[in-house]
């Protein structure tokens, strides 16, 4: 391991340790998780028309999609947002990071994963040799839920076609779902995050491989779990290589 990577791991607060089993073996040993019946309708139909345009979302390039999102009033969150938070990063990214929804910092700045949680995400990415600009970062919801409450099912259903179109355009080789809400929404399950970790799942709407990890905001509150997040990132990196 390079000194640079060691420094990033130190910055994350992770002590370097050697996993008992090589990550590649863990991937080979993956047993598909039995997913529960869907409880939240995923708005997977990107051909639906929005009220404020005659163009289907499935025909929109990324810039036009961003404009659509900025004008969206499809759910009540539009009334309380400062601005929409569309997504950021490399449109040809191999990794797509998907979180839950904008928080206060994101709502203010219009960019996902900024503030302390964003800095930790950046450090986590660097620990596996990635810069923030190498990946694409987005959320399930593009507008901030008041008080950072969990997204309501109908809000997620209304907003998901935007995320699906982002995934269709970017075509990431892997989606890293960070946090319980993002993982449960993408995988349509209520299985615990602990059980979802360490497996390669699939997002049905786009067929994309999905690996699950903790949300950086949770890691800030529970720093002992950072080691597991690093383990997840290594697993994701191996999974990308495996599914080339």
Choosing from 9, 141, 193, 229, the residue that interacts with ligand SF4 (CB under 6 A) is 141
Encoded one letter per residue, x for contact with ligand SF4 by CB under 6 A and - for no contact, window 49-78 reads: --------------------x--xxxx-xx
Q: Is 106 in the site for ligand SF4 (CB under 6 A)?
A: no
| Cα dihedral 225→230→231→236 (10° resolution) | 130
Assess 42 for contact with ligand SF4 (CB under 6 A). Answer: no
Q: How far is the CB of 158 from ligand SF4 (least distance, A)?
A: 4
* Pick 84 or 189: Cβ nearer ligand SF4: 84
The CA distance from 141 to 46, in Å, is: 15
Residue closer to ligand SF4 by CB (options 168, 225) is 168
239 belongs to the binding site for ligand SF4 (CB under 6 A): no
Residue 71 Cβ vs ligand SF4, minimum distance, rounded to whole Å? 9
Contact status, residue 148 vs residue 105, Cβ threshold 8 Å: no
CA quadruple 47, 49, 50, 55: dihedral positive or negative? Answer: positive
Query: 56-62: which pairs have CB atoms within 8 A and are 24 or more residues apart?
Result: 57/161, 57/162, 57/164, 57/165, 58/165, 58/168, 60/165, 61/169, 62/91, 62/166, 62/169, 62/170
The residue within the footprint of ligand SF4, chosen from 121, 143, 163, 200 (CB under 6 A), is: 143
Q: Both tokens of residue 21? A: 């089993």
Contacts (CB under 6 A) with ligand SF4, residues 147-186:
155, 158-159
Q: How far is the CB of 141 from ligand SF4 (least distance, A)?
A: 5
CA dihedral 131, 184, 213, 101 (to 10 degrees): 40
Is residue 84 a contact point for ligand SF4 (CB under 6 A)? Answer: yes
| Binding residues vs ligand SF4 (CB under 6 A) | 69, 72-75, 77-78, 84, 141-143, 155, 158-159
């Amino acid at each position: 391991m390079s000194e640079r990577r060691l420094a990033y791991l130190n910055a994350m607060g992770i002590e370097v340790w050697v996993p008992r089993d090589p990550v590649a073996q863990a991937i080979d040993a993956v047993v598909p998780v039995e997913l529960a019946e869907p409880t939240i309708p995923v708005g997977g139909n990107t051909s639906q028309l929005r009220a404020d345009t005659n163009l289907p979302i499935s025909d929109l390039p990324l810039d036009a999609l961003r404009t659509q999102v900025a004008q969206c009033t499809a759910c009540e969150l539009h009334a309380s947002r400062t601005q929409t938070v569309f997504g950021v990063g490399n449109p040809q990214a191999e990794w797509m990071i998907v979180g839950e929804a904008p928080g206060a910092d994101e709502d203010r700045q219009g960019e996902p994963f900024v503030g302390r949680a964003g800095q930790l995400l950046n450090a986590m990415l660097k620990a596996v040799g990635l810069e923030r600009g190498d990946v694409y970062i987005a959320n399930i919801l593009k507008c901030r839920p008041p008080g950072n409450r969990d997204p309501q099912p109908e809000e997620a259903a209304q907003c998901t076609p935007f995320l699906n179109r982002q995934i269709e355009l970017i075509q990431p080789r892997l989606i890293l779902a960070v946090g319980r809400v993002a993982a449960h929404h993408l995988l349509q399950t209520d299985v615990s995050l602990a059980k979802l970790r360490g497996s390669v799942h699939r997002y049905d709407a786009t067929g994309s491989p999905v690996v699950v990890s903790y949300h950086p905001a949770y890691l800030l509150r529970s720093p002992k779990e950072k080691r597991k997040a690093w383990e997840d990132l290594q697993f994701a990196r191996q999974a990308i290589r495996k599914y080339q």
